[in-house]
Amino acid sequence: MQLDCAGKMLDLSQPMVMGVLNVTPDSFSDGGCYLPLGAALRRAEIMVQEGAAIIDIGGESTRPGAPPVSAAEELDRVLPVVERLARDLSIPVSVDTSKPEVIREAAWAGAGMINDVRALQIPGALDAAVTSGLPVCLMHIRGEPATMQQEPHYGDVVIEVHAFLAERVRVCQAAGIPRERLLVDPGFGFGKTLDHNLRLLRHLDRFTDLAAGVLVGVSRKSMIGLLLNAPVDERLSGSLAAAVVAIWQGAKIIRTHDVRETVQALCVCAAARAAE
């Protein structure tokens, strides 16, 4: 299946890698590294060379405890990067945002996808996404980044997250975004304990019926750190293991900081899945 990202196609017939490019001062793994425009552009070029199929640009940290930023500040961070990369790269760029103002301006600047951790629930975001005509990734979050990890509770996390995403897909379809332009993300680490995250990973195949594909972001997250007792910069092997499990369970896109290594791991995984 081909996903049309503002004229640049994303092939979902094989596992794809989405490279993370945070132009923020406070993201949990790479905050401050790519805030200067030149550094962001160089990092994007490297990720393309390493095999990224799409670059995801974020201007507001959504790590646990992160404070919100204004739409104006987020636009100042992301628009110059979106404009340059949309013009210069052969692959699409995604914008990681929940704000309708950023959705609209990023679409005008050439973004090819909207990646929203709040699943278009902020007032005006759904209308902005419909008007943009772009594919959208709908993610599940319990609460807000500032408070989401304060004792999150579910009766059955798989059933509840699935129901939430199914309802958001229904709302988007009713508003005019076809299922073929929607991706879903169960939101690993967003208002979930380690046990919740592991249950979602184990039962990820139950989410593949909801939309055009499942997107998974587990790269360097605290769930990996808890399992391995490892700091952020020592979580590569665990992140790759989780990515392979996700693809085996039917995920289509892996969002990662470590593009080259993830591309290689998914290549092996895809070959094994295709063997008779």
Provide the annotated active-site residues.
Answer: 221, 255
The number of beta carbons lying within 10 Å of the beta carbon of residue 153 is 9
Query: Which amino acid is it at 66?
Result: A
Phi-psi region of 208 (alpha: psi -120 to 50; beta: other; left: phi over 0): alpha
Phi, psi of 15 (to 5 degrees): -60, 135
Burial of 244 (0-12, 13-18, 19+ CB in 10 A): buried
Residue type for position 5: C
CA angle at residue 172 from 199 to 53, to 5 degrees? Answer: 65
- Rounded to an integer, what distance in angstroms lies between the CA atom of residue 185 and that of residue 171? 16
CA distances from 193 to 6, 148, 188, 199 (A): 36, 10, 9, 10
The kind and range of the H/E element at 11 are strand 8-11
DSSP state, residue 186: -
Structure tokens at 196: 């919740």
Determine phi and psi for 102, rounding to 5 degrees: -70, -40
Please tell me the distance from the alpha carbon of residue 121 to that of residue 18, in angstroms, as a whole number.
Answer: 23
Q: Show the tokens assigned to 109.
A: 């600047």
Give the phi and the psi of residue 3 in degrees, each rounded to 5. -100, 120
